[in-house]
Amino acid sequence: MNDEAALRRRFVSQALQNPHNAAILGRLPLLGLPDAWLVAGCLFQTVWNLHAGHTPEARIKDYDLFYFDAGDLSAAAEEAVQARAAALFADLPITVEAKNQARVHLWYEGWFGYPYTALTSAREGIGRFLVPCTCVGLQPTPSGPVLHAPYGLDELYAGILRPNPACLHLPLFDAKAASYQQRWPWLQIVREFTPTAPSASI
């Protein structure tokens, strides 16, 4: 448990070495979004950049925000949130994308070609990324960022990319893993998966 706690502290510390992550987390509460998290690529890719000796923000294409608002599943409401987020972070030289996890099931199949059951929280959405080691999110709190890593952090630091049984869309996994490996060649693609459920820990 002590090793796990130390790894979690290491991850948060490294994620915050990317100044854009730190800025987003500092301002995210201003959007007033329910169940809001900074997730995925901007976090684990910062860690991989540091491992590879790159600057923390190198090779990161965008910065993703998840929130969960079941009260309005319209595309228009999500677009309004996106516009507010774009305005809030307009001074940063990055692309910030906000997605309502309550409505992913409405568009996912049409976009990616696979059915997607409705989510019940943003944290559940974090657990559905194609690669388990990329299932990470940070949520700002008055005492500092809270980490949600439902599959742990061992494979993230080992650079192991394997399919997620919670979102077993193998052609999408193959494309995603190849893209990661092209940018960080030390990553290993393991096409085997273990059908285990994510933990509920944060």
* Domain assignment present for 20: yes
pLDDT value at position 1? Answer: 46
Identify which of 110, 128, 16 has the alpha carbon closest to the alpha carbon of residue 8: 16
pLDDT value at position 107? Answer: 96
* Tally of domains within the chain: 1
Amino acid type, 97: E
pLDDT value at position 2? Answer: 61
Identify which of 114, 116, 113 has the alpha carbon closest to the alpha carbon of residue 104: 116
pLDDT value at position 136? Answer: 98
pLDDT value at position 123? Answer: 98
Could you tell me if 34 and 1 are in contact, meaning their C-beta atoms sit under 8 angstroms apart? Answer: no
Euclidean distance between CA atoms 3 and 83, whole angstroms = 41
* Domain assignment present for 28: yes
Identify which of 13, 9, 124 has the alpha carbon closest to the alpha carbon of residue 66: 124
pLDDT value at position 11? Answer: 98
* Cross-strand pairs, 146: 139
pLDDT value at position 198? Answer: 52
Euclidean distance between CA atoms 79 and 181, whole angstroms = 32
Euclidean distance between CA atoms 151 and 141, whole angstroms = 22
18-28 confidence digits (pLDDT tens): 999 999 999 99
pLDDT value at position 195? Answer: 52
* Domain assignment present for 145: yes
Longest dimension (CA), the chain: 45
Q: Could you give the count of Cα atoms lying within 13 Å of 67 in the half-sphere of its Cβ?
A: 23
* Domain assignment present for 166: no
Euclidean distance between CA atoms 10 and 13, whole angstroms = 5
* Domain assignment present for 173: no
* Domain assignment present for 164: no
* Domain assignment present for 43: yes
Could you tell me if 172 and 130 are in contact, meaning their C-beta atoms sit under 8 angstroms apart? Answer: yes
* Domain assignment present for 6: yes
Q: Which domain holds residue 81?
A: 2-157
Q: pLDDT 10s per residue in the chain (202 long)?
A: 468 899 999 999 999 999 999 999 999 999 999 999 999 999 999 999 999 999 999 989 999 999 999 999 999 999 999 999 999 999 999 999 999 999 999 999 999 999 999 999 999 999 999 999 999 999 999 999 999 999 999 999 999 999 999 999 999 999 999 999 999 999 999 988 765 545 444 4
Could you tell me if 138 and 43 are in contact, meaning their C-beta atoms sit under 8 angstroms apart? Answer: yes
